[in-house]
Amino acid sequence: MTKAEAPIRRRKLSDDIQDRLLALIRGPNYAPGDRLPSERELMRIYEVGRPAIREAMQNLQRMGLIEIKHGERPRVAEPSIGRMVDQMGETMRHLLMHSPANLEHLKEARATFEREMARVAARKHAATDIARLSRIVDDQEAASADSPRFLEYDGQFHREIAAISGNPIFSSLSEALFGWLVEFHMDLVRVPGLEKLTIEEHRGIIAAIESRDPERAGKAMADHLGRANALYSRAASNRGGSGERRG
């Protein structure tokens, strides 16, 4: 059956309401923070029941376009990169829990992204950026025996490299990519006993960025993630074979 021959899907009433509300939000009369009409007002305007209004509103809330608080009229949401990334979290959870191939895709995406962030940092960094990265690694080394803090500094290190770009979307993506791996596949970012490797390679990445050689910086980051992934996977396999499991 061709697309032209396929039956026409009957749209839900809430879909039509959602489209009309989207037109309101995108129009000139509403700005972030402005209140939208109440459910009762929308029921009167569109001459529909409460369920259709409520379903449309909930869809827009899941999209991050409106904010709904009990007892208040909905508001147009403030644009937020962080909120957008958070909303992707449940989808990513589903992808990673049910498809090993998607984990490999995530690892590849992170390696490509982090390599480019290191190259950008080599071109754009200031002396204060290098000093900040060095302090993070110093703090990380001091926290080698404290697994949660060590991991926190690990994520902060990569996020700060992305922040050197001056692009807040890169910073949010860096945090999200690391966070998804931490939440769903901890073994890919943290294995006890490999702290020294992490510290040494982080210092090597800083030196490469400081050299203002983008190719050297990108390679240092790629080598770090490649070697770390291989060693972490090997360590995880060894633990699995000895009967140990991570929660």
Report mean pLDDT in 10-residue bins for the chain, 247 residues.
Answer: 60 89 92 93 93 93 87 87 68 69 81 96 97 97 90 93 94 85 59 80 97 97 81 53 37
Q: Where in the chain is the domain with CATH 1.10.10.10?
A: 10-76
CATH 1.20.120.530 boundaries in the chain: 82-241
Task: Write down the pLDDT at residue 195.
Answer: 86
CATH topology for the 10-76 domain: Arc Repressor Mutant, subunit A (1.10.10)
Q: CA-to-CA distance for 164 and 158, rounded, in angstroms? A: 10
Which tokens is 108 given? 């590849």
Q: What is the pLDDT of residue 104?
A: 78
Rounded to an integer, what distance in angstroms lies between the CA atom of residue 159 and that of residue 179?
A: 11
Chosen CATH of 82-241 out of 2.30.30.240, 3.90.1300.10, 3.10.129.10, 1.20.120.530: 1.20.120.530
Q: Contact, 118 vs 205, CB < 8 A?
A: yes
Which residues, other chains included, contact 80 with Cβ-Cβ below 8 Å and sequence gap of 6+? 64
Distance of alpha carbon 169 from alpha carbon 189, whole angstroms: 22
- Which tokens in the block code for residue 83? 């909120």
pLDDT at 246: 32
**pLDDT (0 to 100) of residue 247:** 31
pLDDT of residue 245: 31
Res 79: pLDDT: 78
